[in-house]
Amino acid sequence: MRSSNLEHTPPLVVTDVRDALELPFAGLTYSVRPMLADIRIRDERDALAWPRTYNGRGGLTTAIRLSPGLWRLIRLERGEPRQDEEVASPEVNERMVEVLGPGPFELVWASRFRIHRRASPRFRVDLLTRTFLDSPAFLRGAAFRALRLLFGSLRVRRISLRRTAMLDLDYPPSPILDGHDRAAGVRLPDPLLRGPDGAAVRLYDLLRNAPVMLAFNGGGDGGRVETDTGLGHSIAMGPGGFTDTSGLLRRHLGGDEGWMLIRPDAHIAWARRRPDGIRRAVSRALALPA
């Protein structure tokens, strides 16, 4: 096994920012005993429709398919989990049978955690958390029946799922997001692209855990792609690069040529059609030294 020096790196204390701003973090911890487990299955159960839900007297079990053969089990039941409580294979097997049926499986990873409802007074309370996690089975059942009727609408289903997954979350203007810049703070779409070799690939599969520049060349002399933006990692869009047949990216750009700076959190810092001041714009958006 390759050694790593990560254990010698000081941990990042995320509460420091909140403490420095003197923001309260009031709330409560739900009296639920949640469990997560990733499992691999290699039989006909992998073709089952999902998400799958089992609403029993003891709690709620859900299964979602992360990728071919890889499923995530989510279990919510009343109780107080201990910090060091492990999830044993027999328990995972019991939950798997509830939603996927009996059969062999490989346990990839499992853990127990706590669910808190804590926030700054500037944020809203999440009513769905209380409805589905802190109510008896008959109330959850009624809620699921109502949602089944509501989700019969494809539009409602799409909007609700995107909001639940926070895929429609845009950021307002801030010291590093100029509200005058095009598409600033907008969630980056994930269109299906065509690579130079004709292969299909999702845009998010090309991203790294770091800023990236999308350089659009609409078919001109290619000079825009070669412009020095001060950012090492870039993805060429257009002739000789990746093609977005959906037009989603060009819509945010406002044309066929220009640049789009993508933050590590998959949001657009800005979209620009001209190279003027582009290095300075990169530094500002990423809070880099001028």
pLDDT-derived band at 14 (thresholds 50, 70, 90) equals: very low
Q: Which residue has the higher pLDDT, 147 or 34?
A: 34
Which of the listed residues 153, 168, 183 is the one where a domain comes to its end?
168
Residues 124 and 208 in one domain: no
Residues 10 and 111 in one domain: yes
CATH of the domain at 241: 3.40.30.120
Q: Mean pLDDT throughout 85-110? A: 93
Residues 58 and 109 in one domain: yes
Residues 130 and 70 in one domain: yes
Return phi, psi of residue 15, to 5°: -75, -10
Q: Is residue 180 part of a domain?
A: no
Domain that holds residue 164: 141-168
Burial class (CB in 10 A: 0-12, 13-18, 19+), 118: exposed
Q: Contacts from 232-237 at CB under 8 Å and sequence distance 24+?
A: 233/208, 235/206
pLDDT of residue 23: 61
Report which listed range, 21-25, 117-121, 171-175, 259-263, is most confident: 259-263
Q: Do 123 and 85 touch, CB atoms closer than 8 A? A: no
Residues 212 and 157 in one domain: no
Say if residue 221's pLDDT is above 50: no
Q: Which residue has the higher pLDDT, 153 or 279?
A: 279
Cβ-proximal residues to 231 (8 Å cutoff; 6+ apart), any chain = 211, 212, 213, 261, 282
Distance CA 13, CA 182 (A): 34
Query: Cα–Cα distances in Å, from 268 out to 28, 191, 257?
Result: 34, 14, 16
CATH of the domain at 78: 3.30.70.2450
pLDDT of residue 86: 83
Distance CA 132, CA 115 (A): 12
Q: Which residue has the tokens 């890889």?
A: 70
Structure tokens at 59: 């709690």
Residues 40 and 118 in one domain: yes
Q: Mean pLDDT throughout 50-74? A: 90
Residues 202 and 163 in one domain: no
Helix, strand, coil % in the chain, rounded to nearest 5: 25, 25, 45
- Lowest mean pLDDT segment, chosen from 149-163, 172-186, 219-233: 219-233
pLDDT single digits (tens) 15-49: 445 565 566 666 656 567 788 899 999 999 999 99
pLDDT single digits (tens) 80-95: 666 567 888 999 999 9
pLDDT of residue 21: 52
Residues 131 and 230 in one domain: no
- The DSSP annotation for 100-160 comes to H-S---EEEEEEE---EEE--TTS---HHHHHHHSS-HHHHHHHHHHHHHHTTSHHHHHHH
Say if residue 198's pLDDT is above 60: yes
Total of domains in the chain: 3
pLDDT single digits (tens) 230-280: 777 889 999 989 999 899 999 999 999 999 999 988 899 999 998 888 888
Q: Are strands 268-272 and 35-40 parallel, antiparallel or unpaired?
A: unpaired
Q: Is residue 187 part of a domain?
A: no
pLDDT of residue 271: 95
Q: Is residue 244 part of a domain?
A: yes
pLDDT of residue 228: 66
Q: Is residue 116 part of a domain?
A: yes
Mean pLDDT of the chain: 78
